[in-house]
Amino acid sequence: MGPKSVPEYLLRLAIAVATCIPSYLAAALVGLFAQDAGCRIFRAWNRFCLQLFGVTLTIEDRNPPESLHGCVFVVLNQTTFWTRSFRKR
């Protein structure tokens, strides 16, 4: 569940920004020696931010079996993120 008000959204944004630099630095430094561990740190921070803002991802494969595999097409609407953040519940 995402933020319900502007102050709550701004607080969550501040938390995300405050944790961004330490997480990225840790991932970059660890990644120099152990790439898999660095990627795990990066993914953990991304998961944290998705949960923080209440974003859920759904993956569906509607392609026929003979189509190319491994391709991902993403359609995002920027206003969706904005309106979802401040929508009345």
pLDDT tens string 26-56: 999 999 999 999 999 999 999 998 888 888 8
Is residue 81 in a domain? yes
Say what the pTM is: 0.62
The structure tokens 């931010």 sit at: 49
3-class secondary structure, 68: coil
Q: What 3-state DSSP class applies to 67?
A: coil
In a domain, 17, yes or no: yes
Q: Phi, psi at residue 5, to the nearest 5°?
A: -145, 165
In a domain, 60, yes or no: yes
Structural domain total, the chain: 1
pLDDT beyond 70 at 86: no
The domain in which residue 43 lies consists of: 6-86
Q: Phi and psi (nearest 5°) for 50?
A: -60, -45
Q: What is the pLDDT of residue 55?
A: 83
1-26 residue pLDDT tens: 556 788 888 898 899 999 988 998 99
Q: Label residue 67 exposed, middle or buried (CB < 10 Å: 0-12, 13-18, 19+).
A: exposed
Least confident of 4-13, 57-66, 71-80: 71-80
For residue 71, tell me if it sits in a domain. yes
1 belongs to a structural domain? no
